[in-house]
Structure 1
């Protein structure tokens, strides 16, 4: 049996369902490409029709297509050899590429399609990211980039392109598509069966068609009993979540949506608060802010007690409470913006996530989506301080990195002192693991100093052995055992003088958390 998602892929943009505004913006981009000559990014959840829309647009415009979508085809060499040559020179049929800003035959153009544009960080060492960025800046042909998560793309690539968001396809838009497929395949159906498939796929049109095909295989009719697909393990995106809370869903449904988003309640609360006034009327906002204040109280208790069971109460208030504060549903489209807790530059974020991934032995994606939100929560505003110092030491973070993770000001004395203490802790750890290498070097310096002062080796050795003070000898600031260990009268070591015990405890605690 042929794959129905390919068999019934839209052949024109008019057949693309559920994203009318995005579809129209995409068509306008193509019609006016001679005027702006910008590349475009189509982004949204998997299965909403981004790639299908790109191919449908090419059919509408009479353009040939060149597509790169495999992760192992993202090296600079491959991008230049295939997509680069297509974008800069001739079409596949050999006709000359469209020339000036207003000239050129539009029918002779190629549409260069680069899929998985948000999944190229694994190829930085091979030049894939920089090659794509240069390509979109210099191309003489229209380029479409496809991405699931727009903000996983590099900042340079985002700045060099226009963006169009494809939203999750609603169930009411999915059902007519499923109905059309059944009729073309000559399959009878129960309306409730199609509605169940649409609801179970949570806006994923491609997944819905796949499930319909699985339910119809070997049958002449599809009933509710035939639909045995389970809920998909699919995380909801942040923007659909904001639509659910601020515009569309009831309090109960908004709460379920909150648990489907792969973000902490702390971050979700910030997203809701930051975008609330773009949607709510003043009276609605007053009620909503009461719930957000309650959510913040519960988040404060989480930070103070490290009891994460309180998170559910924060989510109740931030999602269900804010949705309940709304008067009915709201329509239209809103451009949601990132809250202030996000770094103003992605360079710092990429640096921090890269360090976390390298030290933790996990992927960059895991570090960004799982480890970083956890670290933000347990070190919020640098509290507790010892844990924040341990974190900064573990990942060798500078002031910008600590400020990014904790949400504190980069130039504050608090952050500067934490970075200084973290560096001291790293220096101690290096010395502790040097197996006496530094001690030998320091003893040599001491011996040279003793000789200069006219002291013989035996006297210097005596001073070192009994631990007495030597004013002429350079001392270590941290009191380490480089030249001797200070002890009490019975020769026992004084605990905690060098802070090494605290450092070990703090690092062990961070390892347990991570």
Structure 2
């Protein structure tokens, strides 16, 4: 049997249901592309018609399409060779003067899903392509903020919202009539309600329910209910506001995130909903979840994840006194892997300063730094940390969770710079020479032996104790390194600046 989602895919923008405002904005973007020449990001939940709208737009405009989706390898090289070339070329039809302007629509699906070694450099390559394109580009994304900041800033944004049940029902009714399927109105209403805004899933469920019987009743629909993936924001609503402990656990298994990530999401947002005794009980459950996650990391036994899920979802939901109403603006966790270079830069500095791997810095050190300097408190400790690792405003914002452009962060970075300079001035005379880091009070890469003529250390070998005995600084450094090796606990980067 033919897939009904493909058979009844809209062939023109006017047939796209449930997102009239977004549909009109997309059409306007295309019609005025020669004036602004910007790419556009079309984002929203799965199944709301984003990709269908892009193809329907191309049909309306008489444009050819070139598509690169998540099944393709999307390294920087592939993107620049494939999408980049398409974005620069004119079509054969356009060169023949058919009035289409030589346009072809470049469609990049799942633009928010470029990550890991497999897609190394892909996000940066896409940003370069859209900034330099001579053809219109549509990026399709489920999670807009999973895209890099640079890529978001280089594109227009159009949001496709979940399709309401009221808009889904007419689509289902039309398909039934075309397929000669008799139906009860309650059955179509039920399918629309069950699918909660996902038009594509509603059509799939209609086809499954109608496959064996040409008279569709509400009983047929009930038996066709199936588990559907759950977004992280509806999950937060379920756990923090609505569902019982048992229901919250089931919701957690429907979210395409690990228990480790879900714990971060809840910890970041629980204070927006809970307070007092509720909050204390929720934190107890999160601490319990964290202990189970620690066992997973230590033993690599992922069977413990189920206990972490029980605690982070069921325990936190059980901590709530009744249901909560209203809308809450949930934030992304501060330790969510950054979509730009800030996170990697912070990890690199922490690793280099502490003398351990980037993996250790990311997993073991960075969480402690964030916990100790959350929202830049205490301030003196935050300034010391910033000075020690030489962090800029973006890095401070990433570690502490404070706004990058706030006066607080800017003043902390300024004070940290003064602290580094004062340390340099204070210790510059205390060391006869040697090599060291700026924060140790010695200008890195130079020898300061008090002789203005030999300030670069080119002529006089010194050992750092100022006695002029000609010993090399490396000998003392090696001895110090041997001594430090006996006491290194793997977290030297945490204690040195405190």
Instruction: Give yes or no for TM over 0.5.
Output: yes
Change in CA separation of 1:350 and 1:201 when aligned onto 2, cut-off 3 Å: farther
Change in CA separation of 1:264 and 1:302 when aligned onto 2, cut-off 3 Å: same
Q: Which residue of 2 aligns with 1:48?
A: 48
The CA distance in 2 between the partners of 1:119 and 1:232, in whole Å, is: 23
Which blocks of at least 5 consecutive residues in structure 1 are unaligned? 99-104, 275-287, 361-366, 384-396, 417-451, 453-472, 483-497, 505-514
The answer on whether the counterparts of 1:74 and 1:120 sit within 8 Å (CA) in structure 2 is yes
The CA deviation string for residues 262-302 of structure 1, in whole angstroms up to 9 with x for no partner, is 5646635755877xxxxxxxxxxxxx7xx455554445545
Of the three residues 217, 224, 233, the one matched with 1:229 is 224
Question: Is 2:66 the partner of 1:66?
Answer: yes
Question: Is 2:153 the partner of 1:153?
Answer: no
The CA deviation string for residues 41-89 of structure 1, in whole angstroms up to 9 with x for no partner, is 1112221111001011122222222222254353455444443333223
Map 1:64-463 onto structure 2 (within 5 A).
Answer: 64-95=64-95, 108-122=102-116, 127-227=121-221, 228-238=223-233, 251=242, 262=257, 264=262, 267-268=265-266, 270=268, 291-292=274-275, 296-301=279-284, 309=311, 312=314, 314-315=316-317, 322-323=324-325, 326=326, 338=331, 341=334, 346-349=340-343, 359=359, 380-381=371-372, 404=398, 407=401
Q: What is the root-mean-square deviation of aligned Cα atoms in Å? A: 5.3
The answer on whether the counterparts of 1:265 and 1:315 sit within 8 Å (CA) in structure 2 is no
The answer on whether the counterparts of 2:264 and 2:333 sit within 8 Å (CA) in structure 1 is no
The CA distance in 2 between the partners of 1:160 and 1:55, in whole Å, is: 22
The CA distance in 2 between the partners of 1:41 and 1:17, in whole Å, is: 19
The CA distance in 1 between the partners of 2:20 and 2:26, in whole Å, is: 10
Q: Which residue of 2 aligns with 1:430?
A: none
Change in CA separation of 1:202 and 1:237 when aligned onto 2, cut-off 3 Å: farther
How far did residue 16 of structure 1 move?
1.4
The CA distance in 1 between the partners of 2:167 and 2:151, in whole Å, is: 32
How far did residue 146 of structure 1 move?
0.8
How far did residue 235 of structure 1 move?
2.1
Secondary structure of 2:162's partner? coil
Q: How many residue pairs end up in the alignment?
A: 383
The answer on whether the counterparts of 2:12 and 2:60 sit within 8 Å (CA) in structure 1 is yes
Change in CA separation of 1:318 and 1:269 when aligned onto 2, cut-off 3 Å: farther
Secondary structure of 1:208's partner? helix
Secondary structure of 1:119's partner? coil
The CA distance in 2 between the partners of 1:293 and 1:151, in whole Å, is: 31
The answer on whether the counterparts of 2:281 and 2:319 sit within 8 Å (CA) in structure 1 is no
Change in CA separation of 1:300 and 1:154 when aligned onto 2, cut-off 3 Å: same
The CA distance in 1 between the partners of 2:332 and 2:108, in whole Å, is: 29
Change in CA separation of 1:110 and 1:292 when aligned onto 2, cut-off 3 Å: farther
The CA distance in 2 between the partners of 1:153 and 1:180, in whole Å, is: 36
The CA distance in 2 between the partners of 1:97 and 1:141, in whole Å, is: 16
How far did residue 145 of structure 1 move?
0.7
Change in CA separation of 1:88 and 1:399 when aligned onto 2, cut-off 3 Å: closer
Secondary structure of 2:139's partner? strand
The CA deviation string for residues 421-452 of structure 1, in whole angstroms up to 9 with x for no partner, is xxxxxxxxxxxxxxxxxxxxxxxxxxxxxxx9
The CA distance in 2 between the partners of 1:92 and 1:61, in whole Å, is: 16
The answer on whether the counterparts of 2:244 and 2:317 sit within 8 Å (CA) in structure 1 is no
The CA distance in 2 between the partners of 1:131 and 1:8, in whole Å, is: 35
How far did residue 479 of structure 1 move?
8.0
Secondary structure of 1:234's partner? coil
The CA distance in 2 between the partners of 1:319 and 1:152, in whole Å, is: 33
The answer on whether the counterparts of 1:67 and 1:115 sit within 8 Å (CA) in structure 2 is yes
The CA distance in 1 between the partners of 2:157 and 2:112, in whole Å, is: 13
How far did residue 303 of structure 1 move?
6.8
Q: Which residue of 1 aligns with 2:456?
A: none
The CA distance in 2 between the partners of 1:113 and 1:196, in whole Å, is: 34
Q: Which residue of 2 aligns with 1:392?
A: none
Q: Which residue of 2 aligns with 1:19?
A: 19
Change in CA separation of 1:304 and 1:154 when aligned onto 2, cut-off 3 Å: closer
Higher mean displacement: 253-262 or 171-180: 253-262
Change in CA separation of 1:90 and 1:234 when aligned onto 2, cut-off 3 Å: same
Structure number, greater radius of gyration: 1
Q: Which residue of 2 aligns with 1:36?
A: 36
Change in CA separation of 1:159 and 1:313 when aligned onto 2, cut-off 3 Å: same
The answer on whether the counterparts of 1:27 and 1:57 sit within 8 Å (CA) in structure 2 is yes
How far did residue 178 of structure 1 move?
1.6
TM-score (structure 2 length as normaliser): 0.59
Which blocks of at least 5 consecutive residues in structure 2 are unaligned? 292-307, 375-388, 403-408, 420-468, 470-475, 492-498
